[in-house]
Amino acid sequence: MLSEVLSWKVNVSREWEMPREIQEYYLASKYCSELKKLSDLLGGPCTAWLKESEEILNAAKGCARPERMMPLGAAREVDSV
C-alpha cells in the first residue's frame, strides 16, 4: 500500500517534443563558438560541423523579419473581419 502511494506521479505535465528546426538552431547557436575553436585546432569534421551550424544560423536570420517582430510588452493589434 505505502509503496503504491510513494510511486504515484503528481502534477505531471505533458512531454512535448521540440521541433527539429528549433532544436538545430538552439544547438548551433549554443556551440558555434566551440566549433570555431575546434575547427581551428583540429580541422576535418569539426570544420564541416562549423559550416553546417553557420548555415543554420544564417538561414534563421532570413526568417526573422523585423516587421514581424514585436517589442516586449507591446500589444498586438487584431485585424477585425
Q: What is the pTM of this model?
A: 0.59
What tens digit of pLDDT does each residue of 4-44 get?
778 888 888 888 888 999 999 999 999 999 999 999 999 99
pLDDT of residue 38: 96
Name residues whose C-beta falls within 8 Å of residue 61's C-beta, 6 or more positions apart in sequence: none
Q: Report whether 31 contacts 53 (CB < 8 A).
A: yes
- Residue at 18: amino acid letter: M
Cβ burial of 53 (10 Å; 0-12, 13-18, 19+) is buried
Q: What is the pLDDT of residues 33-73, one digit of tens each?
A: 999 999 999 999 999 999 999 999 999 887 765 555 555 55
